[in-house]
Amino acid sequence: MERKIFIKNIALMVLLPSVFIAACNDGKKVEGSAVKEKMQTFTCPMHPQVIKNEMGTCPICGMDLVPFEKNSNDKALKIDEKRQALANVTTVLIGENNLSGAKQLNARLVVNPEQSSYISSRIAGRIEQLYVKETGVMVNKGQALYQLYSEQLATLQQEYLMAIAQERQFQGDRIEKQIVASARQKLLLYGQSEQQVQQLVKTQKKDPFVLFYAPESGVVAEVSVTQGQYVSEGSPVLRLEGYGQLWVEADVYPDEAKKVKPGQKVKVVIAGWEEQPQEMTISFINPSLQSGTQLTQIRGAIPNPGNQWQPGLQANVFLPAENAGKVLSLPVNAVVRDGKGMHVWLKKGKDSFVPQLVKTGQENDDRVEIVKGLKNGDQVVVTGAYLLYSEYILKKGKNPVDGLSQK
């Protein structure tokens, strides 16, 4: 009997530690799973690629990390009334009204090639003096540009002097007069001015140096030679650009281009000179698309008094749009546009906001038509929409339109 009791006690002593260890392990598993479920991730407001499992600072910029709901499938964004006021989030009930105005196109000012002057060497020789050696310099009409040394020119001058001397010996001879006129015309065609020809006759001394002057006023856009360089007849020397009239090139989609006609008048507003709108007549519609885009171009010219505008300035062209009556419309800034589509934010309840995909139609400076995605009476965010968009990406770690479909 005592032997049985002794064996039973030994067995209990062996089993108890195993049971205790198993119980501890089970407790740890339960506790670990609970911790795992409650684990919160954090990210940096400025660098969303930084994701950590504990609160801390961003290793890039040092900002405090914020909670990051990366596993949340809830489309609603919760923002209390105080934060709505601070972010200036306001809403309106969308309804039908009239929409009129103009379609705004992005445009730019460019050089009008018709205002450019190409200066080339009229005779072979050496550039003895180059008075304009850099681009961007303003040149006035009649200003000396370069001096050319040419033996060929000296020969032509000598021929002219000999023709005059021959004519004096045979006064009234018609052929001699024609020879003099021909020699004189050659000098003029090779770049000699009337004053230089008269000076040659007066001094009876040939001069192989000839000055060339600017035919028009403009800005030096290109210098093709250097001082001391030999040039042949017809070689390019300078290119002048005139800014008295500039082209306006505007980007337009093909379906919009169908509504535009040459000769149509449009308004042009140049960035920084909004108080000086210009009227432009469309002179050209490009029949082909720009390389790598789905855009074509329309073009017209505007005057540039005092050369106050430079090529490269941004501008806006306003195409008159057809009046649309009784359509759903919103302020332009209420529609968030990104690479995945256009969407707005709807207010649901007191502090809940959800994204909604929309399709837009006509648009003017202030408002845009909503063709699809909303209905009469929807409460839509009209200010602060982009802040909600940023807040959603920051908190959820994904684009608000992911998985959305239009109504």
Residue 37 located in a structural domain: no
Query: What pairing do the DSSP bridges indicate for beta strands 367-372 and 359-363?
Result: antiparallel
Out of 187, 208, 240, pick the residue that ends a domain: 240
Indicate if 271 and 340 belong to the same structural domain.
no
State the average pLDDT over residues 118-144: 90
| 268 shares its domain with 291 | yes
Total of domains in the chain: 3
pLDDT at 199 over 90: no
| Residue 39 counted as domain residue | no
Q: Are residues 217 and 147 in the same domain?
A: yes
pLDDT at 369 over 90: no
φ/ψ region of 154 (left if φ > 0, alpha if ψ in -120 to 50, else beta) reads alpha
Tokens of 198: 């008269």
Per-residue model confidence (pLDDT) at position 11: 53
Q: pLDDT tens digits, residue range 309-364?
A: 999 999 999 887 666 667 888 888 899 988 778 899 999 888 899 999 999 887 77
| pLDDT number for residue 236 | 92
Please report whether residue 60 resides in a domain: no
Structural domain includes residue 226? yes
Please report which confidence band the pLDDT of residue 406 belongs to, taking 50, 70 and 90 as the band edges. low
**Shared domain check, 92 and 167:** no
User: 3-class SS at 157?
Assistant: helix
Is residue 235 domain-shared with residue 143, that is, in the same domain?
A: yes
- One domain, residues 108 and 255: yes
- Between 27-36, 269-278, 343-352, the lowest mean confidence (pLDDT) is in 27-36
What CATH number did the domain enclosing 258 receive? 2.40.30.170
DSSP 3-state of 209: strand
Asked if residue 5 belongs to a domain, the reply is: no
Residue 59 inside a domain? The answer is no
Categorize the per-residue pLDDT at 172 as very low, low, confident or very high, splitting at 50, 70 and 90.
confident
Output the six-digit token pair for 83.
């934060």
233 and 126 share one domain:
yes
**Residue 206 forms part of a structural domain:** yes
Q: Output the average pLDDT for the chain.
A: 82
Contact between 168 and 115 (Cβ < 8 Å): no
Determine, yes or no, domain membership for 63.
no
- Residue-range definition of the domain harbouring residue 228: 117-240
201 and 267 share a domain? no
Q: Are residues 154 and 216 in the same domain?
A: yes
Identify the band that residue 68 occupies on the pLDDT scale cut at 50, 70 and 90. low
Return the CATH number at 386. 2.40.420.20
Tell whether 235 and 162 lie within a shared domain. yes
- Quick one: 108 and 247 in the same domain? yes
Q: Give dist(CA 368, CA 375) in Å, integer.
A: 15
> Alpha-carbon distance 138 to 140, whole Å?
7
3-state SS record for 122-154: CCCEEEEEECCCCCCCEECCCCEEEEEECHHHH
pLDDT tens sequence across 72-107: 566 788 888 888 888 899 999 988 877 766 778 899
Tell me, letter by letter, the H, E, C secondary structure of 295-361: CEEEEEEEECHHHCCCCCCEEEEEEECCCEEEEEEEEHHHCEEECCEEEEEEEECCCEEEEEECEEE
- Cα angle, residue 228 at apex, residues 125 and 149 outer, rounded to 5°: 35
* CATH classification of the domain holding 182: 2.40.50.100
Domain boundary among 319, 341, 363: 319
Strand order in the sheet with 96-99: 96-99, 324-331, 367-372, 359-363
Looking at the fold, whether 353 and 367 belong to one and the same domain comes out as yes
Domain boundary (220, 240, 260) is at: 240
User: What gap in Å lies between CA 351 and CA 86, rounded to an integer?
Assistant: 14
Q: pTM of this prediction?
A: 0.52
Those residues with Cβ within 8 angstroms of residue 244's Cβ, 6 or more apart along the chain or in another chain: 115, 303, 304, 307
